[in-house]
Structure formats: structure tokens, C-alpha cells
Structure 1
Amino acid sequence: MAEIKFDIREAYGALSESAKGWKKELNLISWNDKEPKYDLRDWSPEHEKMGKGVTMTAEELRKLRDILNGMGI
């Protein structure tokens, strides 16, 4: 399996932390030297391992924000 290269350009914050120290984080990440995207996924404490996640463009993130704001929670 090919190695996945990533560069966390900006860390926005953690939503939660598991008992083992993994954090669900929102970051701006460049994957394999491509244009950075917003990324939400679980990370091990030193960012050496990652869980499955979702990446979004700025436009997709704005639409998600609007959906969440409309939910009234």
C-alpha cells in the first residue's frame, strides 16, 4: 500500500477525545501535496496514526455550517 503524505496546515480544534487519547479534530490538511482541504477525523496523540474521516472544500464546509445552523441545536 502506498504511503499517504499529509501536511496539517492549520489545526482548528478538537471536538472530543477518547479514553486512549485519540482526538476527533478539524484541520486544514494538504494530502499528497494537493490543495489543502478541511478535514474531520480521529488522530492518535502524536498524529502518527489516523482514523477514517471526511474532507471538504471551503464551499462544502460553509454548506455544512448552514445546515447545522438551520437545525436549531
Structure 2
Amino acid sequence: MANLKFEIIEKIGTISEGAKGWKKELNLMSWNDRDPKYDLRDWDQDNEKMGKGITLSKDELIQLKELLNGMDL
């Protein structure tokens, strides 16, 4: 597996925490020195190991926010 370079530019918030200390976080991240995007995934306690997640552009995050605001929760 190729090395993956990442940098957490801004920690926006934690959505949940699992029993083993992994946290589902929303962060602004740069992957492989590219422009930052919003990223939602599980992280270990030291932000060194990660689970599968989803990366969104600002426009995609705005659209997701609109969808969520329209839901009756």
C-alpha cells in the first residue's frame, strides 16, 4: 500500500466516540498536499490510524447541510 500523506488543517468536531477510544470526527484535511477538503471518518486517539470515511468539497458539505436541515429528526 502506498504511503498516504495527510494533514489535519482544522479539527471541527467529534460526532461520537467508540468503546475503544476511536472518535468519529469532522476535520478540514489536506490529502497528499492537495487543497483541503472536509473529511468525516473514525480516528484513533492519536490521529495516526484511521477508518474508512468520506471527503467532501465545501459545496458538497453545504448541500449535505441543506439536506440535513430539511429532515424531520
Which amino acid counterpart does residue 7 of structure 2 have in structure 1? Answer: D
Which amino acid counterpart does residue 54 of structure 1 have in structure 2? Answer: I
Q: How does 1:32-43 map to 2 (within 5 A)?
A: 32-43=32-43
Q: Is there any run of 5+ residues in structure 2 with no aligned partner, and where?
A: none
Q: Find runs of 4+ consecutive structure 1 residues off by over 3 angstroms.
A: none
CA distance in structure 1 between the partners assigned to 2:64 and 2:48 by the alignment: 28
Q: How many residues align?
A: 73
Which amino acid counterpart does residue 33 of structure 1 have in structure 2? Answer: D
Question: Residue 5 of structure 1: CA displacement?
Answer: 0.4
Question: Residue 23 of structure 1: CA displacement?
Answer: 0.1
**Which residue does the alignment assign to 1:6?**
6
TM-score after normalising by structure 1: 0.98
CA distance in structure 2 between the partners assigned to 1:71 and 1:19 by the alignment: 29
**Which residue does the alignment assign to 2:72?**
72
TM-score after normalising by structure 2: 0.98
Which amino acid counterpart does residue 36 of structure 2 have in structure 1? Answer: P
Question: Residue 48 of structure 1: CA displacement?
Answer: 1.1
Question: Percent of aligned pairs with the same residue?
Answer: 62
Q: How does 1:5-24 map to 2 (within 5 A)?
A: 5-24=5-24
1:31-67 deviation digits (Å, cap 9, x = unpaired): 0000100000000000110000000000000000000
Q: Is there any run of 5+ residues in structure 1 with no aligned partner, and where?
A: none
